[in-house]
Amino acid sequence: MAEKRIILHIDLDAFFAKVEERENPQFRGKPLVVGADPKSGRGRGVVSTCNYEARRYGIRSAMPISEAWRRCPQAIFLPVNFKLYNEVSAKVMSILGDAAPMMEQVSVDEAYLDVSFLKDYLKAKNFAAALKRKIFEKEELPSSIGIGPNKLIAKIACQKAKPDGLMVVSPEDIDEFLEPLQVQELPGIGPKTAGRLKLAGADTIKNLKKIPRAELKEIFGKWGSSMYDKARGIDESKVSNAEIIKSIGKERTFERDTRDGDVIFSAFESIARDVWGELGAGGFAVKTITVVCRFSGFETHTKSKTLNCSCSAPAVDFETFRRESKKLLLRFIVDNPKPIRLIGLRVKVE
Smallest distance, Å, CB 267 to Mg ion?
29
Distance (Å, rounded) from C-alpha 70 to C-alpha 53? Answer: 15
Of 113 and 118, the one with the shorter C-beta distance to ligand TTP is 113
61 binds, among Mg ion, ligand TTP, none (CB under 5 to 8 A by kind): ligand TTP
49 binds, among ligand TTP, Mg ion, none (CB under 5 to 8 A by kind): ligand TTP
Of 185 and 257, the one with the shorter C-beta distance to Mg ion is 185
Cβ contacts of 215 within 8 Å, gap of 6 or more:
200, 224
Within residues 17-76, the interface with ligand TTP by CB under 6 A covers 48-49, 61-62
- Footprint of Mg ion on this chain (CB under 5 A)? 11-12, 15, 109
Q: Which entry of 21, 53, 104, 110 is annotated as an active-site residue?
A: 110
* Residue 110 is a catalytic residue: yes
Judged by DSSP in three states, 52 sits in: helix
Distance (Å, rounded) from C-alpha 146 to C-alpha 7? Answer: 8
Distance (Å, rounded) from C-alpha 232 to C-alpha 216? Answer: 14
Distance (Å, rounded) from C-alpha 64 to C-alpha 43? Answer: 8
Distance (Å, rounded) from C-alpha 257 to C-alpha 341? Answer: 5
Which sign does the torsion angle of CA 13, 17, 22, 23 carry? Answer: positive
Of 12 and 275, the one with the shorter C-beta distance to Mg ion is 12
Of 316 and 349, the one with the shorter C-beta distance to ligand TTP is 349
Smallest distance, Å, CB 18 to Mg ion?
9
Is residue 286 packed enough to be buried (19+ CB in 10 Å), middle (13-18) or exposed (0-12)? buried
Smallest distance, Å, CB 49 to ligand TTP?
3
Distance (Å, rounded) from C-alpha 123 to C-alpha 120? Answer: 6
Q: Quick one: which of 8, 76, 96, 108 contacts ligand TTP (CB under 6 A)?
A: 108
Alpha helices by DSSP H, listed for the chain, are: 15-23, 52-55, 65-71, 82-99, 121-139, 151-161, 174-178, 191-199, 205-208, 213-220, 222-231, 261-282, 318-335
Distance (Å, rounded) from C-alpha 78 to C-alpha 141? Answer: 18
| Binding of residue 109 to ligand TTP (CB under 6 A) | yes
16 binds, among ligand TTP, Mg ion, none (CB under 5 to 8 A by kind): ligand TTP
Smallest distance, Å, CB 50 to ligand TTP?
8
The alpha-carbon radius of gyration of the chain (Å, integer) is 22
CA atoms within 13 A on the CB side of 114: 16
162 binds, among Mg ion, ligand TTP, none (CB under 5 to 8 A by kind): ligand TTP
Within residues 1-20, the interface with ligand TTP by CB under 6 A covers 11-16
Smallest distance, Å, CB 29 to ligand TTP?
17
Smallest distance, Å, CB 238 to Mg ion?
23
108 binds, among ligand TTP, Mg ion, none (CB under 5 to 8 A by kind): ligand TTP
Active-site positions?
110
Write out the residues near ligand TTP by the rule CB under 6 A: 11-16, 48-49, 61-62, 108-110, 162-163
